[in-house]
Amino acid sequence: MPRKLSNALTPLAVKSAKPGRHADGGGLYLLVKDTGARSWVYRFMLRGKARDIGLGAAGPGGLSLAQARTARDTLRLKVNRGIDPLEERQREASEALAAAQAAKVAGVTFKAVAEAYIAANEASWRNDKHRQQWRNTLATYVYPVMGELPVGSIGTGHVLQILEPIWQDKPETASRIRGRIETVLDAAKARGYREGENPARWRGHIAQILPPRARLTRGHHTAMPYDALPAFLADLRGREAIAALALEFVILTATRTSEVLGATWAEVDLEKAVWTIPGSRMKAGKEHRVPLSLRAVEILEKVKPLSKASLFPAVRGGKLSSMAMTMLMRRMKQDCTVHGFRSAFRDWAAERTGYAHEVCEMALAHVIGNKSEAAYRRGDLFEKRRRLMDDWANYCAGGGAAGANVMPLRGALA
């Protein structure tokens, strides 16, 4: 039976040992590499398996021979009690990493995640107003409550603390804030800053606590009945204001307020009477050509001397404010919305003309829901849409009889 080694090495031997594994006894080994690097290894048997665990460097700056023996003896006691030093070390390393990550996450605030999300995504937001609203609503309503809280600690109570005071009085704003909080918390979860369900989600959560918006508001976009439009346009044309011209242009083109206010002269061809809105400014993200009626062209020729950039400039420069037309409507004692004129146009086209459904939908730049229909329709039905918009302008100008009599003819043409 071979003699068991015990304290076989000396400090001098540790210093002068050649490359290889040198036993000291009791499972302690000096490992010398070809590069001259030296380290201590403890080999132990547990559950019938031999395992090695590193103790650290040997020599200057590392463990001395005596220190290595002490470390070996400490681990040998654990092995004798059935404890695996390697598993213990791995567990401690995992716990330390988890603690470090927890400390890091605890330092990540809701505001930090929100600002990072905005910075990463705002370039894809086409509407400047949308960017501004994101920042303003969070700064006004959200940050004072939970902006500096760790994003991983935010719960339903924090969300309700923000929403409940404004849910009844400002339902539109409250709904958008809830959606933005939900988005930020989703982004935080994706980055590993929080776990579990989103406390701002609507379905199955906030919906069980707060009443739906539909019960609090009168509707989405209140529209003026189309048969009231000729009289309204007559009143509108008697007003000397850029906002009045812009509003009439919105009505005649059946476009969105943001599309008109963001329009530039580079998009307009007056000779061909065409306004081409780039996809970057369209809700559907696709370029939209708008045929301009004679009256729409007249409006543009009237405002052209006022600006070389925006079609409808503000008095003090820049583009007209989005509130200008809304305030004009209020002064005219109208409770319908500017966006509602698109609905009035669609109702008129359906009830007073015979234009095909797809012609009317494309005039509004609506996305085609039917994939088969979208695949077969290659063009934009521009010439048919031009006739439609001419008839619409005629109707708005008071040509009610002409608008009412187009059905048989348009049914054949469309």
d(CA 215, CA 341): 24
Residue 378 pLDDT more than 60?
no
* Cβ neighbourhood burial of 370 (10 Å; 0-12, 13-18, 19+): exposed
> 99 pLDDT band (50/70/90 cuts)?
low
Q: Write down the pLDDT at residue 102.
A: 62
Q: What is the mean pLDDT of residues 198-207?
A: 91
Least confident among 10-14, 125-129, 358-362, 391-395: 125-129
The string of DSSP letters for 154-192 reads --HHHHHHHHHHHHTT-HHHHHHHHHHHHHHHHHHHHTT
- Assigned token pair, 262: 């963001």
Give pLDDT tens digits for 50-92: 888 888 899 888 889 999 899 898 998 988 888 888 888 888 7
Supply the Cα-derived Rg of the chain in whole angstroms: 37
157 pLDDT above the threshold of 90: yes
Q: What angle do CA 180, 185, 191 make, to 5 degrees?
A: 130
- The rounded percent of the chain whose pLDDT value lies above 70 is 87
Identify the structural domains of the chain with CATH numbers, from first to last: 11-104 (3.30.160.390), 110-215 (1.10.150.130), 226-413 (1.10.443.10)
**Pairing between strand 28-32 and 20-25?**
antiparallel
Q: What is the pLDDT of residue 265?
A: 92
pLDDT digits (tens, 9 = 90+) for 249-294: 999 999 998 899 889 999 999 999 999 999 888 887 889 999 999 9
Q: Residue 235 and residue 214: Cα distance in Å, rounded?
A: 33
What pTM was computed for the model?
0.49
CA dist 85 to 66, 91, 305, Å? 20, 10, 85
